[in-house]
């Protein structure tokens, strides 16, 4: 077997794993949007993250097409920088933000504040103050204690639109650590035990708050549209109960995000239209059943827009063959991608930049950090002659990697390069020792 088996060709052209612009290039290379990955690694050093701008934009457009009457709000926590804020503004999406920092970044780009949604289970005074100063479109109330805190900061004779985040009691998500719609965890207010209804009543009693509707978020990596249909059914029933008991017809329903992206070839990752069809069908049916007017719908895709648009590049530092296993250590790891260590995320890996006729064998790609759990990919097929200096490419790396990167071991967070139309441009430069030293103000 060579490094170009049929299975690898299929993998490279799987649009759900690699960007659709990815093609084979001479010398065992892969090009993205007409730009050589091996050349990007040589020019920018490694680790480096490559983001296909056209792929990001096309996936954003797919969500708008799937739900043309809904508001599509990009979940900035997946990955955000100035360029991404601009792309989302140009594609007509809103931004879902979770901190004053993300709010300020959006403001520096002139992003329309009415298209900003702030949420989080523990908003700081700075978060709320910044949101109110900028005039964000929605603040999502996640706890009883936030109601009075927000209301107290709203300027006189004005009202801040808010949503109440509720727990619909639905188990969904690829791992227990990313399931956020079930009972008994830190997010939201329970419909089942009455907390959500109590919060609604309290918000309605605050003249400085304008309760626009409900918010929920089921979890992450949800590879079926069915949980969203069930969430719609339960939330419309709750909206009808609020109307019947309190005489208020709320006009907005935000279903959050969590839509799956493929990390391995064959992973289930329904297209936006599949989620959109199930959501709109159930919304129509449930509203008819309860005699409730169709609310304005919002969804918050992040991973499904960004993950498959990104490719991480690493350089091999060492190869160790021991106990019948092969460990290939690279110059990154859990400092730039903590997902495998956090919740067992899995990836595929491909060598780029040289050809070989060596057979393929199962290999474990590990990081450079001092934990046995610093494993980037287990049991991936790499050439048996993989050696120090080789470049490894990891697709589906656009979401929740750079955004969760740390300063562990002072290795410096990696740069991000955007590619489009045969050209590359730097979006985020590599973090240097000088950047880190500037924070150290001790003796």
Annotated binding-site residue numbers: 258, 300-303, 339, 343, 371, 400
Using alpha carbons, list the distances in angstroms from residue 391 to 68, 289, 360, 386.
42, 57, 16, 9
Annotated binding-site residue numbers for pyridoxal 5'-phosphate: 258, 300-303, 400
Annotated binding-site residue numbers for substrate: 303, 339, 343, 371, 400
Q: Are strands 310-322 and 391-395 parallel, antiparallel or unpaired?
A: antiparallel
Query: What helix, strand, coil percent values describe the chain, rounded to 5?
Result: 35, 25, 40
Q: Is 310 exposed, middle or buried (0-12, 13-18, 19+ CB in 10 A)?
A: buried
* Rounded-to-10 torsion of CA 154, 76, 278, 17: 180
Active site residue 370: yes
Tokens 């991480």 belong to which residue?
Answer: 312
26 neighbors 4 (Cβ within 8 angstroms):
no
Interatomic CA distance for residues 18 and 307, integer angstroms = 9
226 preceded by a cis bond (ω within 30 of 0)? no
Set 81, 216, 287, 370: catalytic member: 370
Interatomic CA distance for residues 350 and 330, integer angstroms = 13
Active site residues: 370
């Amino acid at each position: 077997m060579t490094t170009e088996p049929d299975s690898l060709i299929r993998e490279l052209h799987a649009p759900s794993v690699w960007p659709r612009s990815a093609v084979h290039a001479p010398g065992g290379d892969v090009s993205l949007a007409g730009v050589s990955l091996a050349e990007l690694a040589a020019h920018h050093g490694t680790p480096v993250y490559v983001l296909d701008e056209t792929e990001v934009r096309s996936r954003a457009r797919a969500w708008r097409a799937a739900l043309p009457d809904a508001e599509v709000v990009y979940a900035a926590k997946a990955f955000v920088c100035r360029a991404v804020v601009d792309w989302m503004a140009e594609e007509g999406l809103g931004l879902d933000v979770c901190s004053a920092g993300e709010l300020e970044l959006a403001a520096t780009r002139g992003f329309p504040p009415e298209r900003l949604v702030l949420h989080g289970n523990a908003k700081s005074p700075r978060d709320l103050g910044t949101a109110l100063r900028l005039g964000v479109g929605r603040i999502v109330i996640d706890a009883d204690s936030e109601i009075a805190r927000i209301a107290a900061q709203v300027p006189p004779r004005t009202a801040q639109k808010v949503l109440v985040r509720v727990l619909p009691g639905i188990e969904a998500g690829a791992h227990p650590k990313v399931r956020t719609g079930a009972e008994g965890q830190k997010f939201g207010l329970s419909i089942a035990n009455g907390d959500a209804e109590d919060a609604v009543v309290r918000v309605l009693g605050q003249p400085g708050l304008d309760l626009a509707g409900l918010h929920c978020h089921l979890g992450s990596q949800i590879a079926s549209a069915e949980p969203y249909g069930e969430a719609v059914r339960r939330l419309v029933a709750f909206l009808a109960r609020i109307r019947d008991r309190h005489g208020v017809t709320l006009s907005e329903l935000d279903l959050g995000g969590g839509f799956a992206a493929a990390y391995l070839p064959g992973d289930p990752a329904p297209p936006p239209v599949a989620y959109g069809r199930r959501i709109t069908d159930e919304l129509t049916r449930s509203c008819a059943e309860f005699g409730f007017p169709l609310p304005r719908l919002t969804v918050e895709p992040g991973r499904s827009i960004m993950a498959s648009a990104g490719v991480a590049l690493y350089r091999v530092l060492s190869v160790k063959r021991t106990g019948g296993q092969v460990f290939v250590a690279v110059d990154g790891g859990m400092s730039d991608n903590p997902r495998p260590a956090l919740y067992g995320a899995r990836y595929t890996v491909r060598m780029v930049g040289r050809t070989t006729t060596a057979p393929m064998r199962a290999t474990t790609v590990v990081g450079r950090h001092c934990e046995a759990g610093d494993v980037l990919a287990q049991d991936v097929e790499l050439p048996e002659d993989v050696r120090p200096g080789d470049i490894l490419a990891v697709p589906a790396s656009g979401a929740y990697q750079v955004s969760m990167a740390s300063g562990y071991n002072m290795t410096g967070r990696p740069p991000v390069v955007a590619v489009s139309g045969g050209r590359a441009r730097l979006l985020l430069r590599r973090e240097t020792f000088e950047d880190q030293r500037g924070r150290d103000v001790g003796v």
